Structure 1
Amino acid sequence: GNRRTDDEIEDMIENGFPGTFSFSIMVDVEKARQAANFIEERHQEITNLENSIKQLHSMFADLAILVATQGEMIDNIEYNVTQATNFVGKATDDIVQTAVIAAKLRKKKAIVCVILTVVIVVLIIIFVTYFSIQNKIFGK
């Protein structure tokens, strides 16, 4: 504003220019009020900005917790997928081994059936021969 020296202020008061002096003071007071209002508005804006930053910080903290939790879940899922892959691989090996064993078992069953058939045929031949010899010897 208008800066007055002490001599100018004394001169205005002595010469009867109180209106000019009062007007100058009123202008300075109004400028001070405007500056105070501006400062209060800026302070409120800074407070709002501070609150927004606090909320943003809270959101990032929550996000960090979620990421950590999701990371653990993803690790668990990855472990379970690996386990499932291992189990499927073992099951495939077991199925192949079972097929080989089943083929061997069928072959052994066939051999046992052939042997049993041969034994039964031999027994029948023995019994038929025995009874036909018995009939010839005893004449029946």
Structure 2
Amino acid sequence: MKDRLLELQVITRSLEEEFRSEEDQTTEPGGQEEQQQAVVFEGEDVAHGIYKEAKEIRRETELLRRDVERLKTQNTRFLTSIRRISAIKRDTNVLGRDIQARAQEIYRNLERLGRHSKDLEQSNNSTSAVVRIARSQYSYLTRAFRQAMSEYNEAELMQREYCMGRIQRQAEIMGKELSMGQIDEMIESGSCSVFTGVVADTRTARSALNEIENRHKELLALESRIKEIQEIFLQIAMLVEEQGCMVDNIEATVTATVDIVVVAEAQLVKAKKYQRSLFYLLSTHGCTNLISCLLCAVVVCIHQDGRVVKALDLRSNGQ
């Protein structure tokens, strides 16, 4: 066998020289290599900024929902626990203040994103990709924020109803019936003057009165938190009202899509039915047609064979 190792080495050196020459050709005359540049599409930096803002708002909204869930847990402990009520109350107040501060921050970020979306719509085509991205992110984040605040409102209202019920039951223990309207007046006035004429001479009555006073303080703190957060609820309502037309358009589009899907499903059922019918026709009439064609072919072949035989006989007689 011929040893071709030398030829392989020669080919390898020639390929290396060609590769070096190609690298030298790609070098600029000044001795600097050409720098690779990334392709940047129009509006890509704007879309990146929108996604960054939306990601931050989404993270804060998720933290807000977690705080609301923690508040619900604290309220449940407040309903069931008979010890360390002051510690639970303190934790609840801290959570309420944290929720209010985070909600105000999210609202400011949403306002900034909404202004950015409107500026993009004025400076660009309303159907451009960047404008649609900003609009959809703003709409989605606003709905998520509204949902989180609705859950917070429900948690506070449930706690309020519970405290009013406890005050009503404790008043019954003391022998005094209170309506919800009277309890509301207590909350508005901030005093327990309704129990002025009640003589707390027994241990049970004194315990019930202390319970009423504690629940009354809890209600006052709760009402204070609700009043502080009321402005944010009004601002959320304004945001939702601004997006009313957009939500109506989305709902109309979804409804139209549902109708089209229903029609398409009906057409698919018909197509399957026609397919089964066509298969049945092909399986029955197709076989009949095939047999007929075969019979015709046999007849033609027999006829052609007869003519050939007759021609051969005539030829032989002629000879």
TM-score if structure 1 supplies the norm length? 0.48
Larger radius of gyration: 1
RCO (CA 8 Å, sep 6+): is it higher in 1 or 2?
2
Greater helix fraction, Structure 1 or Structure 2: 1
TM-score if structure 2 supplies the norm length? 0.24
